[in-house]
Each structure stands twice: as C-alpha cells, then as structure tokens.
A and B are shown apart, each in its own frame.
Chain A
Amino acid sequence: MPPAGIWIDGLIQSCAYMTMAFGMVLVFSILGILNWTHGQFYMLGAFVVYYAITAVGIPFPLGLLAAGVLVAGLSILVKKIIIDHITGDLYVGVATMGLIFFFEGAASMIFGMQDKGLARVLPGVVDLGSFSVSYQKIAVVSFTLVIMIILFIMLNFTRIGLAIRATAQQPDAASLYGVSVERLSLTVMGIGCGLAAMAGGIIAPLYTINPFIGGIPMIMSLLAIVIGGLGSLTGAIVGGLILGFLNSVVAYHLSYLSEVVLFMLVVIILLVRPQGLFGASVK
C-alpha cells in the first residue's frame, strides 16, 4: 500500500485533470469539436493569475476568477473569429492545433520563456504526523469541489444548464429551452475554456509557469475524456480520477514505467470498449 502522501498526490492530479477534462468534454459535446488548444488556455490562465498577483497585486481567489473570465473571453473570440469560419470537425481540429503554436509563441514573446513561480501564494503546510499537506494542495481540492458543485447545480437547475445537457444528448434540443444554439455554444466555449484557465491558475502555484506547460495537461485530459467516453460528463470525471491516481500510485510502484502503463491502458480500454467507459454505445 502506498503511503498517504501518494494518495493525496493522486487526488491533486485527479482534480487538475478532472477540471480540464470536464471543460473539454463540455466543448466537445456541444460544439462537436475537439479543442486541442485547451492546454494553452490552461497555460494562459496560469499566466493571468501570476500577473494578477505579482504585477497588479489582487488577491489569489480574485486572480483566479479573472483568469477564468479573461480566458473565457479569449476563447469566445477564438470561436467567433476562427472556429465559426471553418467548416468540418477535422479542419477545426487542425486549426486548434495551429493555435497551439500560435499561443505558445505569443506567450513566449509576451511573458518570456523562463520559469515563473507563485510559491508565495498560500505558503505553509499542515503537519499531520507522518505526512504533511500544503495549503496550496488543500486549495486545489477545495476549489475543485466548489467548481464541481457549481457545475452540478448549473447543469441540473438552470435553464442554460438543462439546455446544455439536452443538447449534449441531442444536437438541436437547445431550442426547446428557448436558448439559441449560437448563444449556447458561445457559453459552453467560455465555460469550458474558463475551466481550463482556472485549472491552470489553481495548479500554477504548485508547479512552475512557462509558455509550454499546457502540453502535458492537454494530452492527459484528452486521454481522460477518451477513456471516460467522449461526450460523457461522468466519463470525464472518472477518466480524470483514473489518470490522476495512475500517475501517482503506479509511478510510486513502477517509477517511469507508469508512462507505458498509461498508454497501454488507453489502447486496451479503447479496443475492448471503443466508445470509452461511459460513452453511449455506437450501435
């Protein structure tokens, strides 16, 4: 049995991937596109939080909110300017791949390439005898819980949330709730990418911030939603949990071989259940 520290660590990882994957799957299920730029929104979120705290001097939770709002605005711009003008899922996918380079380049030019850190946000640890947990990690978990609760309430009790869920099941159901498809997809793009940015912002104090941190979370959340089943919101959460614990618990036992386990697991899951764990059956 791995020590408690490893399980806590797995939980932290899961939280990050869950939030990312949830946003990604929201965008996928409403807009029908796979947003490859998701990781770059994560990176931009981290930068917004960094500059909000160091340059502007606003408190961390507000910075987090600012990251969500700003990046949501940016993603809506991206949708309006680029995604709306390209037809075909494949081509939109490739365009968002092009945007990976664009945003990484832009971030390198604007923010510089060297690592930045936010260790002074919520410093200190809680000592729990055999192991300790930092306030930052507690913040990550509680933030994720809050976000998940807010999303749950939104998806189940608000008009737009119901419209989102209905549209995810059936493409033209939005009109039943009196919401225009255009407005719905803009909202979802904003929420999804804002989630990525907030994930970036909340995780940023734990690790380093540079223009290239988006790549790995992007791949991980992609794998998470594919394992969980594309289009399934539950699947994204479960996929995030699986990958988070895989990355810590398996790494604890097998060290670097966790990478192999990860990819083989993805291949096997998809061969056995091509629609993912929670995806709707194809036939």
Chain B
Amino acid sequence: MKKWIIIWAALFITVLTFGLASAQNEPIIIKVGMPTVLSGPAAPWGQVGMDPYHAWIDLFNKEGFKVGGKTYNFKLITVDDKNTPEGGAAAAKQLIYSDGCKFLAGHWTWNFPSVATVANQAKVILLTRTGNEAVPGGVYDPKKFPYVVFANDSMGQYIADHLAIVEAYPKYKKIGILDCVIGKGPAADITVAALNKAGIRFVQEWFPFGTQDLTPYITRFKEAGCDIVYIAGWVGETMAFAKQRWEMGFKDMKVGHSGPFVSVDMYLAVSGKDAAQGLIGQYWTSWEFKKTKVNPKYIKMCKEVQEIVSKKQGKPFNYTGWVGWLPNHLLILSQAMQKAGTVDDTDAIMKVIRGGTFDTTIGKWTMSGAKTYGSPIVFGCPAALSVIKGDKEVYLSEHPTKPLP
C-alpha cells in the first residue's frame, strides 16, 4: 500500500519538475479576444479571416516577442457576436471575464459601441477596425473611451477610396454611391460634406436591406449620368449590381465596392465573366503598394500566410482583407508592450500607444493621438484599389490616407 503511494508521489514530482522546467522555456501566452460574427447572414465576413489570422499568429509566435527577458506569444480566442450589439457585449464579457483576456481585437461589424463600453469598463484595450462619427454606431469620445484604439479611420478611408478611383479614372463623369439604408445616417451629413469638399462629383442612393434586385437603382444612376458606381461594403449586392447593369446593357458603367475581393472566382461565378471585368475593390496586399513603404519582413510573412491558407483550404486563397486588421493590431500591441515594458498594465500600454509610432504590415504609422475626428487614437491605411482582369485581381491605384482638415 505504502509502496504504491511512494511510487505515485515520485512519479508526480517528476512530472511536475519536468513540467515546470519545460514551462521555463515555453513562451507565456497572452490571450487576445476577438468578438466576431460567425453565424447568420454576415458570417462569411467573420469566417473568411479566421484561417489567415490563425496562420499569421502561428507565424508570429515562432519568434514571439520579448518583454523583460521573457518570451510572449499571442493566442486568439473568438466568440460569435451574432452581428448585434447585444451579442457583441455578451461576447466581449465572455472574453474578458470568463477567459480573462486583457486585450480585445476586432469586432469587424458595425455594432461595436457596446463592445467598446464593455472593454472600457473593464479597462481592457480594444483595438478595432474603424472609428469615427461617420461610422454607424460611432462612439468616439476620447474622454469617454480611453481604452479604444482604432485601426483605421473609416471616414478618411472612405474619402481616400473615392480619391483613388478619381486618380484611376480622371475622366469620370459622376460617381454613384450606393449603400444599404440600414447604414444611412452617417453619409447624410459628414460624408457628403467631405466628398463635396474633396471636389468629387457624386450621386447617392440607398437600397432597403435584403434587396437583390437592383434594377431600379441602376436605372436611377444611369439617368443621373453616373459612369462609376461604388457600393459601400455590400459584396453580394455589388456582384448583383455588376451582373444586372451588364444585362441591362449599361456595359460601360464601372462598378466597385469598398472592401477587398473575397475571392475572384466568386465574382466571376455570380456576375458572369464578362460582367465582372473591371470590378473595383480595395487592395490590402502590402507587397504591391507603390506609394507606401512596408517592412519586407511583413511582406514575406503575409505571403507565407497566403500560401499556408491556400494549402489548408486546398484552393487558391487570394482574399487580402485580413492583412489590414488583426496583424496590425497585434504588431502595435506587441511593440507597445515592449516599449512599456509590461504585458498587463493596460494604462501604461495605452500611454505608449497614444502618439507612438509603430511598424505595421501597411507601413509605419504614428498614432495621431486624441485630436482627429473625435476618436481617441487613429491610424490610417492607404486606400489601394484593385480591379478584376481576366480571372486575376490586379493593382489599380493608390491614395494615401491623410487626416482631413
């Protein structure tokens, strides 16, 4: 009897010692939570980024990053937010209080004010995608939300996209801007003013949620004399629009959408090969930027990720939207942690982020601090556009984001 106890104890101690010894070398995990949409109609946009994010984090973790002599690694935990503010808040709370995340990244959907509130209350740093008054649900009083970092200034991005189109097609007559009416509100005032100020000729139209048949809107644009129609982020509608304008015989009307191409094959399949030619999308792939300088290390990493994901999914993976967001968040976070010399004091990390300069996959960015667009911290990313040619996506034009006056 006693013998057994001794043997068990010895075994236990050995295992423990080895475990502790190996733990010394093991990097310490920092959990980063990501509330994102994984169910419902918007789920494809949450889903498409998952593989590259995980692949990128794996690559990043090979090296890890050192703070105070210890090596740290990131671990991504995702929770479905059902694309509602309610779900966003619930997901954020689960991540913060049940999983113990000190950092949240993401929430790519519009409904993140509730996530911001939760993160702010818990003094958890939230690095998110967009942020200013022009975005639906825009929060962004730096005094109220001191722990929120915005990845890119969507309004600036929005304007820059249009400027990039103008650069690519300087002889355009009029740009038609189409958006779903559930996003109406922002564009009514600020965007219109900004576009006017930028000297862009445009007409705006709104379609009700769920509209697949866009013929009435195509006709309205045609009658208003638009030769380019730019659709705000609705990929399915863009494909339908491209197809329908082709069928109606308006073949010279150019179509584009804000947001990167999910997969060129999809556009060819839905719109038809002819109709999809010349479709304009955002282009995030850093390795082909012409005006923005990017650290070649990241270009290599991103290319590697594309390959890993292609292999995993067994088909070419050419979605590039993921490059702009989570990788940059994690780069900013790791660099800020190194500068601050701490991994859990969010106040100290935040202090470093504010006004600091960071190396990201889309170039070096200085966080503008609390002075722009009413949002606490903003960094921009260049508005690069691409266009579908044949069955490939090629570089079209680029317009660097500058803070608006």
Measured CB to CB, the nearest residue on chain A to B215 is A9
Residue-wise, chain B 197-218 has the 8 Å CB interface mask toward A (1 for contact) of 0000000011110111101110
- Are B247 and A115 interface neighbours, CB within 8 A? no
Instruction: Judge whether B10 is part of the interface by a CB distance below 8 angstroms.
Output: no
Please tell me if B240 contacts chain A, counting CB pairs below 8 Å: yes
Determine if B269 is an interface residue (Cβ-Cβ < 8 Å). Answer: yes
A208 adjacent to B248 (CB under 8 Å):
no
Find out whether the CB atom of A6 lies under 8 angstroms from the CB atom of B212. Answer: no
How far, in whole Å, are A114 and B269 apart by their CA atoms in the complex? 12
B337 interface residue (CB < 8 Å to A): no
The segment out of B43-51, B300-308, B391-399 that lies at the interface is B43-51
Q: Are A13 and B239 in contact (CB under 8 A)?
A: no
A212 touching B40 by the CB < 8 A rule? yes
Known: A13-B213, A212-B40, A256-B206. A2 touches B269 (CB 8 A): no
B254 contacts the other chain (Cβ, under 8 Å)?
no
Q: Which single member of B206, B210, B220, B263 contacts A114 (CB below 8 Å)? A: B263
Complex contact A116–B269 (CB within 8 A): yes
**Chain B proximity mask over A243-261: 1 for CB below 8 Å, otherwise 0:** 0000111011001101100
Flag if B239 contacts A115 (CB, 8 Å): yes
How far is it, in angstroms, between the C-alpha of A119 and the C-alpha of B310 when the chains are bound? 25
Cross-chain contact A255 with B269 (CB below 8 angstroms): no
Contact B239 A247 (CB under 8 A): no
Q: Give min CB distance, A25 to chain B, whole Å.
A: 22
Out of B44, B205, B240, B249, which one reaches A207, CB within 8 Å?
A: B240
Q: How far is the CA of A210 from the CA of B205 in the complex (A)?
A: 25
Cα distance A108–B44 when bound, in Å?
10
Task: List B contacts of A256 (CB < 8 A).
Answer: 181, 184, 205-208
B160 at the interface (CB under 8 A from A): no
> With the chains together, A248 CA to B213 CA distance in Å?
8
| B262 CB–A CB distance under 8 Å | yes
Contact yes or no, A115 B270, CB < 8 A: yes
Q: Is A72 at the interface (CB under 8 A from chain B)?
A: no
The complex places the Cα of A6 from the Cα of B273 at a distance, in Å, of 24
Q: In this assembly, does A5 line the interface, its C-beta being within 8 Å of a C-beta of chain B? A: yes
Does B271 count as interface, using CB distance less than 8 angstroms?
yes
B248 touches A5 (CB 8 A): yes
Q: How far is the CA of A48 from the CA of B347 in the complex (A)?
A: 55
Structural contact, A119 and B269, CB atoms closer than 8 A: yes
Is A125 a contact partner of B247 (Cβ separation < 8 A)?
Answer: yes
Nearest to B223 among chain A residues (CB) is A3
In the complex, whether A12 has a CB less than 8 A from a CB of chain B is yes
Q: Are A137 and B247 in contact (CB under 8 A)?
A: yes
Give per-residue flags for A83-100: 1 if the beta carbon is below 8 A from chain B beta carbons, else 0.
000000000000000000
**Docked pose: A191 CA to B215 CA in angstroms:** 31
Pair B213/A117 contact, Cβ less than 8 Å? no
Report, as a range, how many residues of chain B touch the other chain.
Answer: 35 or more
Chain A residues positioned under 8 Å from B274 (CB to CB): 123
CA distance A210 to B237 in the complex (A): 13
B275 CB–A CB distance under 8 Å: yes
Asked whether A131 and B235 contact (CB < 8 A) given A120-B272, A216-B210, A216-B212, the answer is no
The interface centre, meaning the residue of B216, B246, B273 with most chain A CB atoms within 10 A of its CB, is B216
Query: Is B266 part of the contact surface with A, judged by Cβ < 8 Å?
Result: yes
Min CB gap A223→B, angstroms: 13
Residues of B within 8 A of A119 (CB): 243, 268-273, 275
Inter-chain contacts of B181 with A (CB < 8 A): 256, 259
Tell me the complex Cα distance, A123–B274, Å. Answer: 10
Task: Determine the distance from Cα of A256 to Cα of B206 in the docked complex, in whole angstroms.
Answer: 6
B248 to chain A, nearest CB (A): 5
Q: Is A113 an interface residue (CB 8 A)?
A: yes
Taking CB atoms, residues of chain A closer than 8 Å to B217 are 251, 255
In the complex, chain A residues whose CB is within 8 Å of the CB of B208 = 256, 258-259
Q: Nearest Cβ distance between residue B342 and chain A, in whole angstroms?
A: 40
A212 to B247, CA, bound (A): 25
With a cutoff of 8 Å between Cβ atoms, the chain B residues found around residue A258 in the complex are 208, 216
Contact B270 A215, beta carbon cutoff 8 Å: no
Asked if residues B48 and A114 are in contact (CB atoms below 8 Å), the reply is: yes
Q: Counting CB contacts under 8 A, is A156 at the interface?
A: no
Which of A9, A12, A136, A248 is the most central at the interface, judged by chain B CB atoms within 10 Å of its CB?
A9
> How many Å lie between the Cα of A213 and that of B273 in the bound state?
22
B41 at the interface (CB under 8 A from A): yes
Q: How far is the CA of A117 from the CA of B246 in the complex (A)?
A: 15
- B residues near A125, Cβ cutoff 8 Å: 246-247, 249
Q: Which of B210, B247, B270 contacts A117 (CB 8 A)?
A: B270
Give the residue name and chain of the B residue nearest to A250 (CB): B216
In the complex, chain B residues whose CB is within 8 Å of the CB of A216: 210-212
| Nearest-CB residue, chain B, relative to A16 | B213
- Among A5, A123, A215, the one with the most B-chain Cβ atoms within 10 Å of its Cβ is A5
Contact B219 A252 (CB under 8 A): yes
List the B side residues contacting A212 at CB < 8 Å.
40-41
Assess whether B236 is interfacial by the CB under 8 Å rule. yes
Which A residues lie within 8 Å of B43 (CB)? 108, 113
Whether the pair A252, B213 counts as a contact (CB closer than 8 A) is no
- A116 touching B44 in the complex, CB below 8 Å, given contacts A255-B205, A258-B208: no
Interface assignment of A170: CB less than 8 Å from any CB of chain B? no
Interface pairs A-B: 4 shortest CB-CB: A117-B270, A119-B272, A117-B269, A251-B216
6 CB-based A-B contacts, threshold 8 Å: A113-B47, A119-B269, A120-B273, A207-B236, A255-B205, A258-B208
Interface residues of B, Cβ cutoff 8 Å to A: 39-41, 43-44, 47-48, 181, 184, 205-208, 210-213, 215-217, 219-220, 235-236, 239-240, 243, 246-249, 262-263, 266, 268-275
**A9-B213, A248-B216, A259-B181 provided; 13 other pairs, C-beta below 8 A?**
A2-B216, A6-B215, A6-B219, A113-B44, A114-B44, A114-B48, A115-B239, A206-B240, A207-B213, A207-B270, A251-B216, A255-B216, A256-B184
